[in-house]
Amino acid sequence: MDQPDRIHLRDYILSAEIGAFQTERGHPQRLRFDIDVELATHVVGVNDEVDRILSYDILTGAVAAGLADRRYDLLETLAEKIAAQILAHPRAAQVTVTVEKLDRIPGALGVTLVRRQARVEADQVQAPILVIFHGRDLTLPEGAVVLVPDAPGLPLPQGGNLREIELLALDQAAWALAGHLGLTVADSRTELDWAATEGRAVVWAPARMVRDVAGLAAEPHALALWLTERLGASRLDWALPEGAPEPAVPAGFRIPTARL
């Protein structure tokens, strides 16, 4: 029987204030993190697609989220938090987390936890808010926001795969909008999930994710509705020009929509 595939993070060193002793308070110390993740499925047939694997960013992001959450007295509590964050990902079956203090003694003091899927409860990732952007000045809502660019309004070359051309035009619009607003572009589910975890605003470039979705029009409103359901967004906001009607929402669409 094949052994499970694994990914790992080794010798990842960060400084943080941690410890139960008074001498450790107010004095950041180096922590070394080693994480080994057993994958739920083999990395076979992924076709070099980042959305079909467990990204290494999940590991470093779990460490960052754990350290940002609070000050810890115990390494065990921090390690449990990191394990929970990683096991919230469906592609992680088991995780081994080692956290060591490097500045207490000449060697290292630490703890190793092994946790399996369903053994821990992770914090809920903040559901993002989707905003379809129509080129006017906009004050972004707080927290995780995904901006869907409006169609650029440029003449498109005719012939060939028109849907592909329209998607690439939307990707160009996403990069232009991100540059205008000082944001980053996300073109994969992994990047969108990371932005939601971090509570950041990003602009979505849709071509990569929807290229092979049959029956989905390369049109901003349809794409926004699709992505809202795909991400389980908390709401969908329309940033519309003055006097423009609010787009129709299909029957059975359960996520709240609003006009900004």
Answer with the residue of higher pLDDT: 22 or 75.
75
d(CA 253, CA 225): 8
Over range 194-207, report the average pLDDT: 84
Average pLDDT over residues 103-116: 92
Q: Which tokens sit at 211?
A: 């290229």
pLDDT of residue 12: 95
Q: What mean pLDDT value characterizes the chain?
A: 81
Indicate the pLDDT class of residue 19, thresholds 50, 70 and 90: confident
Angle at 30 between CA 26 and CA 33, to 5 degrees: 130
CA separation for the pair 34, 47 (Å, rounded): 28
Q: What is the pLDDT of residue 66?
A: 83
- In contact, 255 and 236? CB cutoff 8 Å: yes
- pLDDT band for position 46 (cuts 50, 70, 90): low
Mean pLDDT, range 56-79, rounded to an integer: 83
Better pLDDT: 46 or 40: 40
User: What are the pLDDT digits (tens) for 212-229?
Assistant: 788 888 888 888 888 888
Look at residue 113 in the predicted model and tell me its pLDDT.
93
Contact 149, 130 (CB under 8 A): no
Whole-model pTM: value is 0.56
Distance between CA 260 and CA 246 in Å, rounded? 10
Structure tokens at 86: 């990683």
Share of the chain above pLDDT 70, in %: 83
